[in-house]
Chain A
Amino acid sequence: MSKHTLKAATITMAHGAGGKAMRDLIDDVFVGTFYNEHLNGLEDQARFDLAALQQQGTKLAFTTDSYVVDPIEFPGGNIGTLAVNGTVNDLAVSGAMPKYLSCGMILEEGMPVEQLRRIVTSMKQTADEAGVMIVTGDTKVVPKGKGDKCFINTTGIGVIPDGVNISAKRCQTGDKIIVNGFIGDHGAAILNARGDLALDVELKTDCQPLHGLVQAMLAVCPDIHAVRDASRGGVATVLCEFAESSQVSIRLDDEAVPIREEVRGVCEILGLEALYFANEGKLVAAVPAESADSVLSAMRAHPAGKDAAIIGEVAEGKAGRVVVKTFFGGERIMDMLVGEQLPRIC
């Protein structure tokens, strides 16, 4: 790697002031790392050839998300990997091929430059793996105590191929509900990484891009009805959204939901539910029953879906409701969380 032109060891207010210090930061850390033809011009905006995009599909997908995780580095990733994969996945679940991302950073005065470099390097690696380019950005610095080390916003553009029509409104009675693997890993890993639990378990975030998997699913079943990224609020929230948007009833089979032993352990100790834990590389799909097996096989053949499982179905019943069949044969209703999940004491 070339010699760093930015000499400072920590971020100061000067790095957001618009002068030479800021220019050094941008040139060295951001442009030096992200490096691509769209960014290198340092115009105030990235510019794309419309005709080239049009050849790849008929619709543009456009999304934005902000990332404020604490701690900013954790087993299996950091805020940078989240910021890229999170937005990539918001595009991916529409059936889009993600193309370009922006990167807005709000840094807290005093953040170590080395840590920022690690995060930016992760963003570049993650973007390369996902096949997207980070083409425009912005940096602000806030005084110490007014932020929490580093907040990132990424906005993304993708192209949806012709004929794809994925929507949370399209779930139909009979559809099978599929997840692409173990749920709750990310939520449990973050909880554990905060350090106040002191649990001796190995938990890693599941952070991964999902567009390759979605394309593999669409290849065997172009008419997939609904797909959503099960990030904040977890699988439970996605199912509630499906049931509400499509005005259908969803039956979830508790026993069929893949949850790692370690995650179940964390849930048992704290009285929390993995179905509500955040994921960063998990999707939930509603697939026509006749294609469910072929979609499941295609998912299992893809690295991002090797533990995929059918966890329920869209069934007759009261519209807007998700019912869980417990492995005991009992039933309960699953609703959206009111606030955050709080540990129980007794």
Chain B
Amino acid sequence: MKYVDEFRDPALARKVLKKLHEVVADIPRAKERPLQIMEVCGGHTHSIFRYGLEGLLPKGIEMVHGPGCPVCVLPMGRVDDCIAIAEQPDVIFTTFGDAMRVPGSKKSLQQASAEGCDVRMVYSPMDALAIARENPHKRVVFFGLGFETTMPSTALTVMQAKREGLNNFYLFCNHITIIPTMKAILDEPGMSIDGFLGPGHVSMVIGKQPYNFIASHYNRPLVVAGFEPLDILQSLLMVVEQLRDGRAEVENQYARIVPEQGNLNAMAAVNEVFEVREHFEWRGLGSIAESGVKIRQAFEQFDAERAFSVATLQVEDPKSCQCGEVLKGALKPWDCTAFGEDCTPETPVGALMVSTEGACSAYYSYGKIDVHQAG
């Protein structure tokens, strides 16, 4: 595949890896304890496992798999809300595929569908709009979730619905923002992360400026990274070079996609439709201030929360679940008592076992060879 295979060139990868080993060898403190580098985005987690990158890295680097998997951090209470909406008469509930299996406190959307709810998988919010046009006597709800990456397309869909005067389309808005969450992680007592791979797709929308505080205030390097294996290795190299030189800067490895200023049109659409929520509940991390968005008053007729008077109950994660600790890098997935016992991809207890982008699920399914052999 043109434009993809170039970023998977094994010969180039070997060169970058050699450099990476050399730079890490030049950092004395990496010998005492591995440098902890968090990849914020679930897409990176997936690539790291898909291509077996972790086993190729120097011992002096430890990857910490961050909170950037929107499906993983979705609280159970919100899935319950989805099902409560889907169970109402004349509702067609539309969702991205990977939200189908996320467990609520009683069931998932997949189970609700099996029990007779009209739950449909779509590939774009515009597909949901088409379903609304075709079914004027049904109420069509789109489950909007994801970070800034998916927010613009949802915003444009709502704007389109308004232009068309559709009165049977609703958005159940669960969009979240990454910056407050990174700040929450950095403010954790005992936080030991040395540097970050910044989320490439989110940055394509917001640009690199919003990360500046991580370098200036927290003195940690961040490199906005692409998703191909070479992108990830190159970005890691850029992070460790900063650590070796004692620098803390925001750099952009993914410049072929991510403009410095982000996508201003996309941001304008997001700002027109959405406003920041005071708090949003994250599975495994708890409530984080200003970490989610809701629909502005001007578009309230499309707001499923108003139309369906959603309960938004908080449902506690099971006590045995230590997802929060894993997300912060304090625990490795296999250190959690539930990992692989009560908590497996078939019966996920915690958020990180839910999606293939979740760290626990990735370890469980793709496996890190030595971990599995030890266990």
Contacts and interface: CB of A to CB of B under 8 A. Distances in A.
Chain B binds chain A: yes
Interface of A: 196-197, 261, 264-265, 268, 271, 318, 321, 323-335, 338-339, 342-346
Nearest to A333: B367
Interface in B292-344: none
24 contacts: A264-B1, A265-B1, A268-B4, A323-B369, A324-B52, A327-B10, A328-B8, A328-B13, A329-B13, A329-B56, A333-B367, A333-B372, A338-B345, A338-B365, A339-B110, A342-B98, A342-B121, A343-B97, A345-B70, A345-B97, A346-B42, A346-B68, A346-B69, A346-B149
Given A196-B127, A335-B365, A346 B357 contact: yes
Interface string B143-184: 001110110000000000000000000000000000000000
Interface stretch (B43-51, B235-243, B258-266, B277-285): B43-51
Contact of B51 (A321, A328, A338, A342): A328
Among B14, B42, B54, B55, find the residue whose CB has the most chain A CB atoms closer than 10 A.
B55
Among B46, B49, B71, B123, find the residue whose CB has the most chain A CB atoms closer than 10 A.
B123
What is the predominant secondary structure among interface residues of chain B facing chain A? mixed
Contacts of A331: 52, 55, 369
A228 B56 CA distance: 33
Nearest to B120: A196
B66 interface: no
B355 interface: yes
A323 B4 CA distance: 24
- 9 closest residue pairs by CB, A with B: A330-B52, A333-B367, A342-B97, A343-B97, A345-B96, A332-B366, A338-B345, A332-B52, A326-B52
B173 to A, nearest CB: 15
B201 interface: yes
B335 to A, nearest CB: 19
Contact of A318 (B41, B149, B365, B373): B373
Nearest to A338: B345
Among B14, B51, B56, find the residue whose CB has the most chain A CB atoms closer than 10 A.
B51
A271 B69 CA distance: 14
A326 B46 CA distance: 14
B150 A346 contact: yes
B203 interface: no
A197 B8 CA distance: 26
A334 B367 CA distance: 8
What is the predominant secondary structure among interface residues of chain A facing chain B? loop
A328 B96 contact: no
A261 B1 contact: yes
B356 interface: yes
A214 to B, nearest CB: 32
Interface string B1-15: 100100010100110
A332 B1 contact: no
B188 interface: no
Contact of A344 (B46, B54, B365): B46
Contacts of A327: 8, 10
B123 A196 contact: yes
B59 interface: no
B364 to A, nearest CB: 8
B55 to A, nearest CB: 5
Given A326-B50, A326-B51, A333 B123 contact: no
Contact of B123 (A197, A325, A332): A197
Contacts of A268: 1, 4
A330 B53 contact: yes
A28 to B, nearest CB: 37
Among B49, B68, B365, find the residue whose CB has the most chain A CB atoms closer than 10 A.
B365
A331 B52 CA distance: 5
B186 to A, nearest CB: 22
A333 B4 contact: no
B229 interface: yes
